[in-house]
Amino acid sequence: MNPDALRGHMDALLLSVLEREPLHGYAIIEALQERSGGALIVPTGTVYPALRRLERIGYLSSEWATVGGRKRRTYRLTAAGRKQLEGERSAWREFTHVIGSVLRAEVRTSS
């Protein structure tokens, strides 16, 4: 998948992955890849700065946890993050409806 296509949608993707359960950074990357059927391979250099930014604005909280014998920062969606995710989903539905209307092959005529 073209990495430019993700521009502007990374926040929604990260919030969505964390909706189900708290995860550490690498598990978030794996979840994105798994949920996309392997189409999304997002580099750590994209994910970690976005996670820190989302935490700074209050959509995520984090804590250190030991996972598999290693200390990792685990991220959790906050109430504000859940509200933001719902807004992102609504905006996505509207976006795909509008773009889909334009890209459809059918031609509408005015009467």
Write out the chain's pLDDT in tens, 111 residues: 666 667 788 999 999 999 999 999 999 999 999 999 999 888 888 899 999 999 999 999 999 988 788 899 999 999 999 999 999 999 999 999 999 999 987 766 665
Would you state the pLDDT for residue 35?
A: 95
pTM, entire model: 0.84
Amino acid of residue 32: L
What letters, b where the CB count within 10 A reaches 16 and e where it falls short, cover 11-20? bbbbbbbbee
Strands lying side by side in the sheet with 70-77: 23-24, 70-77, 60-67
Domain 3-102, CATH number (from 1.10.10.10, 1.20.1050.10, 2.40.50.100, 2.30.30.90) = 1.10.10.10
